[in-house]
Chains A and B, each alone.
With several copies, the nearest count.
Chain A
Amino acid sequence: QGLIFTAATWGALSSQTATAELERESWTKQPGKPFSNYGAPSDYEKKVIRWIMANDDAPGNGVSWTPLHELEGIVTPSGLHFERHHNGVPAIDPERHRLLIHGLVKRPLTFSVSDLLQYPMQSRLCFIECGGNSNAGWRSEPIQTQVGYFHGMASCSEWTGVPLSVVLQEAGIKGRAKWIIAEGGDASMMNISLPLDKALDDCLLALYQNGERLRAENGYPLRLLVPGWEGVLNVKWLRRLHLAAKPVMARNETAKYTELLPSGKARQFSFVMEPKSVITHPSFGHRLDRHGLYQISGLAWSGRGKIAKVEVSADGGKSWAEAELQEPVLPQCFTRFRIPWRWQGQDVVLKSRAFDETGAVQPERSELIAKRGRHGYFHYNAIVSWAITEAGEISHVYL
């Protein structure tokens, strides 16, 4: 109907102006806005926000989600990177900030931010995903909300920083060191234990996000980047690295970010974010208002490495077709998948499932629950199903 209205408008315009000069839209008839030192999204895109869920008594405690349902490609604009803060966003003066490396090292050292900016750096496109992302999937009824407010505690940026191995070499690691306790410089001063071998493998002291210096809510002036591992390890506002023989058993590696199993035991040090995928278009909140060709588009990622394959089903999982992966496919990075699909108005259930290069496969929800029970809370990575009615309405279903 919108389209018929459109044609009518042009028809009307044309008869009005048949003999006059060429008609121009209002925005072509006067100079536009001037240049800006730092841009912001269009006024017409004000609905594209990270949605905030915080504690009324503690407004800096909560999360805000990346609106994945509004985005395309793989980069998350920094202004929409998800937030998880324990006690708000500190306004750290970078000239006063220091990183201390101590514990089982030969030389306890401090570094200023301007020191670290002179170190060799590397860049990588990498997702960060909260261990609690998608946890609404554990609920007994399928949550009806847009993709971003279900799976949007995951975002993907180009991070640039100093390999942790470089500064650890300078401090000199003692043989007994097996863990690093990282501490943030916010009001929560969160600490958490990271295995030393991961630290030496691929962790970065990140200084830049998507080209510019870190955003305050993403750890300015310094954050730990722990590629592919749960978000809480990517300590923001990083101020201290404590090399130790054992983990500190912090609140966020015991009381939280552990998965209670049906046996009553809990998985601890469950670091890696397992393969996940979700169809972002079409998805809950969209409506199919015509029959014909659509492009199914979604995101897949795995903390284990590269996505090897994404399969899509339009019949609730009976048959699967391989989607195209947008190049480049990078390890521990969002991977955009797309596949053409023709909808003729039938009831359908769309699903996607991710396979990574290590052979790990995204499980069906029933498989995940069979393995982990219903109360793991963290590390929910099951296949997501979207049911589409004949009227084109889309809902989240468990199948």
Chain B
Amino acid sequence: EELIGPGLGIQASPAMLKQWNRDVFPDGAGLPSGQGSAREGEVVYRAHCIGCHGPEGRGGSAEELAGAEHSLIDDPPDKTIGTYWPYATTLFDFTRRSMPLSNPGSLTDDQVYAVTAYLLYLNRIIGPDDEMNAQLLPAVVMPNQDGFIDNYRRDD
């Protein structure tokens, strides 16, 4: 097959691929080694998150992270991690890449596992002593795991 472009791409080194790829999939692909517990996560949360997201994930200037008082079929519905998010891996993926918003990329992977565990705990999905790592996180079953309809190329 002849190239339709000039072929200027440079082969990426395995080291670069490892450094650059931070995508974490529902099956756990992309999760790094490391671990952290919800109790450890509370420390991380108080140090790095509480200023924007408020105590226990509520009442801050930024998004609510826990504490839904209504279900998804109430009016108004209450969309939080606990009621709405389908995969726990998303929490790790997003927190590691984007949070804390004031200093993104500043947490270690252990800290990200820990604060992820803490947010799952706040949303009553795991217990206060539970820990998260590359094996346990993808095994978490989120309450709204089946809550989504794939709409791609459907017509409604």
Contact = CB atoms under 8 A, between A and B. Distances in A.
Physical contact A–B (CB less than 8 Å) = yes
Contacts of A255: 79, 81, 84-85, 90
A22 B98 contact: no
B5 A293 contact: yes
B44 interface: no
A371 B154 CA distance: 14
A292 B7 CA distance: 9
Contact of B72 (A86, A264, A374): A264
Interface in B111-126: none
Interface stretch (A115-123, A143-151, A310-318, A382-390): A115-123
Given A22-B19, A58-B61, A264-B73, A254 B150 contact: no
Interface in B78-97: 79, 81, 84-87, 89-90, 93-94, 96-97
Interface of A: 3, 6-7, 10-11, 13-15, 17-18, 21-24, 28-31, 55-58, 61, 86-87, 100-103, 107-111, 115, 118-120, 162, 165-167, 169-171, 181, 183, 187-191, 195, 239-240, 242, 244, 246, 248-251, 254-255, 258, 260-271, 290, 292-294, 371, 374-375
**Which secondary structure dominates where chain B touches chain A?**
loop
Contacts of A293: 3, 5-7
A14 B19 contact: yes
Given A11-B15, A108-B17, A167 B52 contact: no
Interface of B: 1, 3-13, 15-26, 51-52, 60-62, 71-73, 75-77, 79, 81, 84-87, 89-90, 93-94, 96-98, 101-109, 147-152, 156
Contact of B6 (A11, A58, A109, A292): A292
B21 to A, nearest CB: 7
Contacts of A250: 90, 93-94
A87 to B, nearest CB: 6
B93 A191 contact: yes
Contact of B98 (A102, A189, A271, A371): A189
A109 B72 contact: no
A310 to B, nearest CB: 21
Given A3-B8, A21-B105, A111-B9, A249 B89 contact: yes
B75 to A, nearest CB: 7
B86 A7 contact: no
A109 B25 contact: no
Contact of B103 (A30, A165, A170): A30
A55 B104 contact: no
Contacts of B21: 102-103, 240, 242
